[in-house]
Amino acid sequence: MSTLRFEALKETFNRKPVKIKEPARRSELFGTNVFNEASMKQYLTKEAYENVMEAIKTGKKIDRRVSDHISTGMKEWAISKGATHYTHWFQPLTGATAEKHDAFFETQADGSAIEKFGGGALVQQEPDASSFPSGGIRNTFEARGYTAWDPTSPAFLWGTTLCIPTIFVSYTGEALDYKTPLLRALQAVDQAATSVAKYFDKNVTKVTATLGWEQEYFLIDSALAATRPDLSLAGRTLLGHSPAKGQQLDDHYFGSIPSRVLAYMRDLEIECMKLGIPVKTRHNEVAPNQFELAPIFEEGNLAVDHNSLIMDIMSKIAEKHHFKVILHEKPFAGINGSGKHNNWSLATDTGTNLLAPGSTPMKNLQFLTFFINIIKAVHDNEELLRAAIASASNDHRLGANEAPPAIISAFIGSQLTEVLDELEKVTDGKLSPQEKTELKLNVVGKIPEILLDNTDRNRTSSFAFTGNKFEFRAVGSTANCANPMTVINTIMAKQLNDFKSEVDELIKGKKMKKDDAIFNVLREYIKQSKNIRFEGDGYGEAWEKEAKKRGLSNNRTTPQALKAQISEKTIALYEEMKVMNKVELEARHEIELEDYAMRIQIEGRILGDIARNHVIPTAVRYQNILIENVEGLKHIYNEDFKKHSNEQLELIEEISEHIAKINSGVKAMIEARKVANKIEDSEKRAFAYCDDVKPYFDEIRYHCDKLELLVDDELWPLTKYRELLFTR
* CA–CA dist 487, 484 (Å, integer): 5
pLDDT-wise least confident of 17-26, 89-98, 366-375, 453-462:
453-462
**143: confidence class by pLDDT, cuts 50, 70, 90:** low
pLDDT-wise least confident of 30-44, 232-246, 575-589:
232-246
Question: Coil, helix or strand for 116?
Answer: coil
- How remote is the C-alpha of 230 from its chain's centroid? 21
* CA–CA dist 647, 711 (Å, integer): 14
What was the pLDDT predicted at 141? 41
What letter represents residue 155's amino acid?
A
Rounded percentage of the chain residues whose pLDDT exceeds 70: 92
Tens-place pLDDT, residues 101-116: 989 888 777 777 778 8
What was the pLDDT predicted at 248? 65
Residue 171 pLDDT exceeds 90: no
C-alpha dihedral (215, 220, 222, 227), degrees to nearest 10: -130
**510: confidence class by pLDDT, cuts 50, 70, 90:** confident
Phi first, then psi: give them for residue 456, nearest 5 degrees: -60, 140
The per-residue pLDDT of the chain, averaged, comes to 90
What was the pLDDT predicted at 140? 44
- Delimit the domains of the chain by residue range: 184-579, 593-724
Residue 524 pLDDT exceeds 50: yes
* CA–CA dist 217, 337 (Å, integer): 9
Helix, strand, coil tally for the chain in percent (to 5): 55, 15, 35
* CA–CA dist 671, 681 (Å, integer): 19
What was the pLDDT predicted at 611? 97
Q: Does the domain spanning 184-579 belong to CATH 3.40.190.150?
A: no
Do 184 and 573 contact (CB within 8 A), yes or no? no
pLDDT-wise least confident of 170-174, 235-239, 329-333:
170-174
Residue 86 pLDDT exceeds 90: yes
- Averaged over 711-718, what is the pLDDT? 95
pLDDT-wise least confident of 174-178, 243-247, 402-406, 668-672:
243-247
Residue 145 pLDDT exceeds 70: yes
Tens-place pLDDT, residues 540-574: 788 889 999 999 999 999 999 999 999 999 999 99
Same fold, 184-579 and 593-724: no
Residue 643 pLDDT exceeds 90: no
Residues 6+ apart with CB under 8 A from 140: 130
Residue 240 pLDDT exceeds 50: yes
Residue 431 pLDDT exceeds 80: no
Burial of 187 (0-12, 13-18, 19+ CB in 10 A): middle
Beta bridge partners of 292: 216, 283
**266: confidence class by pLDDT, cuts 50, 70, 90:** very high
* CA–CA dist 152, 99 (Å, integer): 19
**96: confidence class by pLDDT, cuts 50, 70, 90:** confident
pTM of the full predicted structure? 0.93
Between the CA of residue 686 and those of 137, 584, 671, 683, what are the distances in Å?
20, 20, 16, 5
What letter represents residue 600's amino acid?
I
What was the pLDDT predicted at 24? 80
CB neighbours of residue 697 within 10 Å: 17
What was the pLDDT predicted at 323? 96
What was the pLDDT predicted at 132? 67
Q: What angle do CA 540, 544, 547 make, to 5 degrees?
A: 140
* CA–CA dist 505, 525 (Å, integer): 16
Phi first, then psi: give them for residue 253, nearest 5 degrees: -60, 120
Do 708 and 720 contact (CB within 8 A), yes or no? yes
CA 293, 296, 300, 302 torsion-angle sign: negative
Question: Coil, helix or strand for 445?
Answer: coil
- CATH topology assigned to domain 593-724: Four Helix Bundle (Hemerythrin (Met), subunit A) (1.20.120)
What was the pLDDT predicted at 455? 43
Residue 134 pLDDT exceeds 70: no
End-to-end Cα spacing for the chain: 22
